[in-house]
């Protein structure tokens, strides 16, 4: 006896048996056959649509399945735990760039005083990612989860805001470095422009909207030669693409403040240094080279003038970041709609006492007890500015910002950390 399927879809058309003797029955049979065919086709199409949709959602969440590590009930639980507030009046903060230099220190300080902290970092290889992994371990050991992901992953950002109603965002993720912008300009656009906008888009739609404090840079003063640099000074002459993207960030955040009522605070950091610092920065790479007996290149400005920086110790910067978070004021919008004016602030966070680069090297030599092999060259046209010097009175007035660590003291702490981190303390002599 043929099955229903065989009856409807005979293997060869010739096998289809037609009963010529019974017209009614033949019509009925034809009608039945075509209804069943349509039914099966419909089933087939539904199945096709369902499998297409589930494949699509699988691909959409590809970031999760293919490249990294977020999503799922367990992950959400970890995010919630990390964001848990342990003091009255505390905040829950999303720290972007948490495995970076400033991000690590700020995350630890927030966690230590009882705030909830969730970190986000893409662990790119601009500099040794193993240092970022070590910072991540440090954060984990203090109960701070660092989610691995990129600012441009809007789905991940939205998910984080679904899981936690962050009160604040401390946005420190960026492509840093002044001179590297000539090598890899697109990385600055990717992180400092596109990444910033991606973050602001999610923040503006969040309900409640968080207040945002973010890292701008002293480099926005560019060719400004009015000293010390005040927030009201001109910032329309950037000397590097890095500076230009940070300046663009100030304008972009202003537009989100204006349209959506996001509370924004931009912090112009002045050459931040200290333990767990960035290996691409001069104080760090000079230390490495001096210890390895390699020469260091010291740039010199016009007319053989030494370059100078308002080097600022990390602990002072952390105090400035926390002071900014504490006084940020609320965003006013909900669901992407502005409900009133929100604060828009910009502060210098510097040390107010510039030091010439050769003097920085003198201090390192004393702490390391090793002479540097100095190679002094005229500053190439690489985006550097001759000097920086912060006026910090605005931050002092607003939240009592007062740096207390001079370069001599700060570098001593950095060198102690460096020797211990890279294992020099266990060796008989410095190499
Ligand atoms: O305040 C900022 O907004 C920026 O600070 C930092 O930039 P810079 O002030 O340029 O720091 P850094 O590279 O340590 O060079 C220090 C000095 O050493 C000189 N320098 C540098 C390298 C070298 O080989 N030789 C040399 O003389 C160099 O010419 C300069 O005079 C951050 O990197 C940047 O991300 C941003 O945050």
Rounded Cα gap, residues 384 and 307, in angstroms: 9
71 has pLDDT over 70: yes
Least confident of 55-64, 116-125, 283-292: 55-64
| C-alpha to C-alpha distance for 318 and 269, rounded to whole angstroms | 11
Least confident window among 34-38, 245-249, 356-360, 375-379 = 34-38
Mutational pocket test of ligand 1: of 281, 286, 350, 374, the residue with most ligand atoms within 8 Å of the beta carbon: 281
Q: What pLDDT digit, counting tens, does each position of 297-324 carry? A: 999 999 999 999 999 999 999 999 999 9
Closest CA to 349 of 177, 231, 210: 231
Q: Which residues make beta-bridge pairs with 299?
A: 377
Looking at the CA of residue 281, tell me the nearest atom of ligand 1: 14
CA-derived radius of gyration, the chain = 30
Residue nearest to atom 24 of ligand 1 (CA): 297
Confidence tier at 48 by pLDDT (50, 70, 90): low
Determine the distance separating the centroid of ligand 1 and the alpha carbon of 52, expressed in angstroms: 52
Burial 329-341 (b: 16+ CB within 10 A, else e): ebbbbeeeebeee
Q: Which atom of ligand 1 is nearest to the CA of 296?
A: 24
Q: Which of 314, 357, 388 to mutate to test the pocket of ligand 1 (most atoms within 8 A of CB)?
A: 357
pLDDT of residue 143: 98
Lowest mean pLDDT among 153-167, 223-237, 370-384, 417-431: 417-431
Does the beta carbon of 384 sit less than 6 angstroms from any atom of ligand 1? yes
Residues in the chain: 431
**How far is residue 119's CA from residue 128's CA, in Å, rounded to a whole number?**
19
How many C-beta atoms lie closer than 10 Å to residue 202's C-beta? 22
Separation of alpha carbons 190 and 283, rounded Å: 27
pLDDT of residue 20: 36
ipTM of model:
0.98
* Ligand 1 proximity of 325 Cβ (cutoff 6 Å): no
Residue 36 pLDDT level (bands cut at 50, 70, 90): low
Q: Is 357 in the pocket of ligand 1 (CB under 6 A)?
A: yes
pLDDT tens for residues 155-183? Answer: 999 999 999 999 999 999 999 999 999 99
Q: How confident is the model at residue 4 (pLDDT cuts 50, 70, 90)?
A: very low
**SS3 of 16, please?**
coil
Query: What is the predicted pLDDT for the residue at 49?
Result: 60
pLDDT for res 47: 67
Q: How many A from CA of 416 to the centre of ligand 1?
A: 21
Given this model, what pLDDT does residue 425 score?
Answer: 80
Nearest residue (CA) to ligand 1, atom 10: 178
Q: Give the alpha-carbon dihedral of 411, 417, 419, 421, to 10 degrees.
A: -150
What confidence score (pLDDT) does residue 7 get?
Answer: 33
The catalytic residues are: 242
Residues in Cβ contact with 151 at an 8 Å cutoff, skipping those fewer than 6 apart = 96, 120, 122, 157, 173, 191, 194, 195, 196, 198, 199
pTM for this entry:
0.86
Q: 346, 250 in Cβ contact below 8 A? A: yes
Ligand 1 near 306 CB (within 6 A): no
Q: What is the pLDDT of residue 2?
A: 40
Quick check: CB of 359 below 6 Å from ligand 1? no
Residue of 250, 274, 309 best suited for mutating to test ligand 1, as the one with most atoms within 8 Å of CB:
309
Contacts 24+ apart (CB under 8 A), 248-251: 248/192, 248/193, 249/192, 249/193, 249/196, 249/214, 249/216, 250/216, 250/220, 250/346
Average pLDDT taken over every residue of the chain: 89
pLDDT band for position 254 (cuts 50, 70, 90):
very high
**What domains can be seen in the chain, in order of their start residue?**
63-271+314-352+386-404 (3.40.50.720)
Instruction: Say if CB 176 and CB 278 are below 8 A apart.
Output: yes
pLDDT at position 64 over 90: no
Ranges 8-22, 33-47, 59-73: which has the least confidence: 8-22
Residue owning tokens 């848990």: 84
Nearest to 323 by CA among 396, 419, 218, 241: 396
The confidence score (pLDDT) of residue 51 equals 57
Does the CB atom of residue 235 touch ligand 1 within 6 A?
Answer: no
pLDDT for res 308:
98
| pLDDT the model gives residue 50 | 57
Torsion of CA 201, 203, 209, 213, to 10 degrees: -120
Q: What are phi and psi of 421, to 5 degrees?
A: -65, -40
């Amino acid at each position: 006896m043929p099955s229903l399927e065989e009856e409807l879809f005979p293997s060869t058309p010739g096998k289809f048996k037609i009963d010529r003797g019974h017209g009614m029955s033949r019509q009925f049979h034809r009608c039945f056959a075509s209804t069943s065919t349509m039914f099966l086709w419909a089933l087939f199409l539904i199945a096709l649509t369902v499998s297409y949709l589930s494949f699509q959602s699988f691909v959409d969440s590809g970031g999760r399945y293919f490249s990294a590590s977020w999503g799922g009930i367990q992950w959400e639980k970890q995010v919630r735990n990390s964001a848990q507030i342990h003091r009255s009046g505390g905040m829950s903060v999303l720290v972007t760039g948490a495995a970076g230099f400033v991000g690590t220190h700020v995350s630890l300080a927030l966690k230590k005083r009882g705030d909830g902290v969730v970190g986000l970092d893409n662990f790119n290889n601009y500099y040794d990612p193993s240092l970022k992994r070590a910072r991540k371990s440090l954060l984990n050991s203090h109960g701070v989860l660092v989610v691995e992901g990129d600012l441009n992953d809007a789905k991940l950002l939205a998910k984080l805001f679904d899981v936690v109603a962050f009160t604040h965002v401390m946005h420190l993720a960026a492509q840093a470095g002044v001179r590297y912008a000539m090598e890899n300009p697109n990385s600055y656009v990717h992180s400092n422009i596109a990444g910033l906008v991606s973050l602001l888009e999610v923040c503006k739609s969040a309900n409640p909207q968080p207040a945002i404090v973010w890292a701008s840079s002293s480099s926005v003063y560019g060719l400004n030669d009015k000293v010390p640099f005040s927030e009201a000074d001109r910032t329309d002459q950037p000397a590097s693409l890095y500076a230009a993207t940070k300046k663009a960030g100030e304008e972009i955040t202003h537009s989100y403040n204006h349209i959506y009522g996001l509370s924004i605070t931009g912090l112009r950091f002045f050459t931040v240094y200290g333990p767990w610092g960035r290996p691409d920065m001069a104080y760090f790479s000079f230390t490495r080279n001096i210890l390895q007996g390699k020469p260091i290149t010291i740039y010199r400005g016009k007319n053989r003038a030494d370059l100078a920086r308002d080097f600022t110790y990390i602990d002072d910067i952390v105090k400035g970041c926390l002071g900014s978070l504490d006084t940020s004021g609320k965003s006013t919008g909900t669901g992407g709609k502005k409900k009133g004016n929100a604060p828009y602030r910009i502060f210098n966070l510097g040390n107010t006492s510039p030091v010439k680069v050769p003097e920085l090297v003198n201090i390192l030599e004393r702490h390391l007890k090793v002479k540097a092999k100095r190679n002094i060259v005229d500053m190439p046209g690489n985006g550097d500015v001759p000097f920086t010097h912060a006026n910090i009175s605005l931050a002092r007035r607003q939240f009592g910002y007062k740096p207390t660590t001079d370069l001599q003291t700060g570098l001593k702490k950095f060198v102690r950390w460096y020797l211990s981190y890279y294992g020099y303390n266990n060796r008989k002599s410095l190499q």
